[in-house]
Amino acid sequence: MMAQLQQGGPDEKEKTTALKDLLSRIDLDELMKKDEPPLEFPDTLEGFEYIFNEKGQLRHIKTGEPFVFNYREDLHRWNQKRYEALGEIITKYIYELLQNECHLKKVTLPVDAIETEPKSFIFMSEDALVNPDKLLVLIHGNGVVRAGQWARRLIINEDLNSGTQIPYIKRAIEEGYGVIVLNPNENYIEVEKTKAQIQLSSDISDEPAEKRERKDKIHKETKKRRDFYEKYRNPQKEKETMQIYIRMIQREAEVKNRVTAVALTDSVHNVWHQEVGKTIREWMRENCCNWVSSSEPLDTSVESMLPDCPRVSAGTERHELTSWKSFPSVFKFFSEAVKAKNSLVKPTPTRRSNRIKYEEF
């Protein structure tokens, strides 16, 4: 229709301009919310009528069926919010498993935090700081996942084994490792801005006054439309928030001296973008291996243009499954690294026949 109008004469072009102007003033996101049910969801698995069965699979209590995302047709946003609410419950459920099933203790960070400052936490085995032989440190990827998780999607749609770090933790403890489960996505807290803070952030803008006034006008119009649609729904109120970061430190030299081996699973790091120096790149080539998503068999070398560390196939093309599929190879890599360190010989990160000569970089 738009294309037909644009091909016409002046009258059609005027209609096109008017239509574009109308569309520009319609907040489609708000329009979608018009007939949306309240964004109020249960705060327990039982409330959602789901439970993890003996195989670690999430199933409906009554039907035994897997989780259904499209619980309500044509309400994608509502279904997404429902999925996120379930995800928050699962995060707490995993925390409980780390403590009750894996026997890890929850430790608050920073360790010297005062009462009023932002805090996070990690999980540790009882011997994590005193184990004389070896320590396994688990770090998840970015996104919504928290301590103990690899991928929320796998936990909900597959099972706990593939989606959580629990198999790694249990295997490590069996092999005599101390264990620390880090929680890097929990490195800040969100608090609601006060009216004074909102006004201050607006006042200190270095934008020209005319441009700032236009933005303020648009903001007010958007808020007016949002308030108009509030009477049709009862969602959680959207608030202006600010992030307060938790204290963090860096210890490059100490890490390089004490870490024996690093296994990455389809890592998206980039040594160029992150301005990694030559000494770190050399250390990574000697001590790291990245199991990447690939159609090749497990442990087959995969070429890379980055001069950081060897890359081998995780035996799956699905990014979220790389940690689970490479599980046995990762522990073999660690075992070889420990033996090599004890014998003062550098470990072989992949099968010798498939190794790439990174010395060329």
The residue type found at 316 is T
pLDDT in tens, 63-85: 999 999 999 888 888 899 999 99
Question: How far is Cα 267 from Cα 15, in angstroms, rounded to an integer?
Answer: 51
* pLDDT band, residue 342 (cuts 50/70/90): confident
Cα 43–chain centre separation = 21
Question: How far is Cα 16 from Cα 129, in angstroms, rounded to an integer?
Answer: 69
Cα-based distances in Å from 63 to 66, 139, 158, 315, 338: 9, 36, 17, 34, 48
Q: Which structure tokens are listed for 108?
A: 């608050």
User: Could you tell me the maximum CA-CA distance found in the chain, to the nearest angstrom?
Assistant: 85
Q: Given the structure tokens 């958007």, which residue do they identify?
A: 222
pLDDT in tens, 85-106: 999 999 999 999 999 999 999 9
C-beta of residue 319 within 8 angstroms of C-beta of residue 268: no
Per-position b or e across 173-207, b if 16+ CB within 10 A of its CB: beeebbbbbbbebbeeeeeeeeeeeeeeeeeeeee
Looking at residues 201-225, what average pLDDT do you find? Answer: 63
- Minimum mean pLDDT range among 117-131, 132-146, 221-235, 286-300: 221-235
pLDDT at 178: 98
Instruction: Give the helix/strand (H/E) hosting 137.
Output: strand 135-138
What beta strand segments (E) does 23-115 contain?
A: 50-52, 58-60, 105-109
pLDDT at 51: 97
Q: Which residues lie below 8 Å from residue 199, measured CB to CB, with a gap of 6+?
A: none
Question: Residue 326's closest CA among 167, 146, 124?
Answer: 167
- Minimum mean pLDDT range among 95-99, 268-272, 354-358: 354-358
Question: How far is Cα 236 from Cα 214, in angstroms, rounded to an integer?
Answer: 28
* pLDDT band, residue 361 (cuts 50/70/90): very low
pLDDT at 356: 35
Q: Which residues lie below 8 Å from residue 52, measured CB to CB, with a gap of 6+?
A: 45, 58, 59, 93, 160
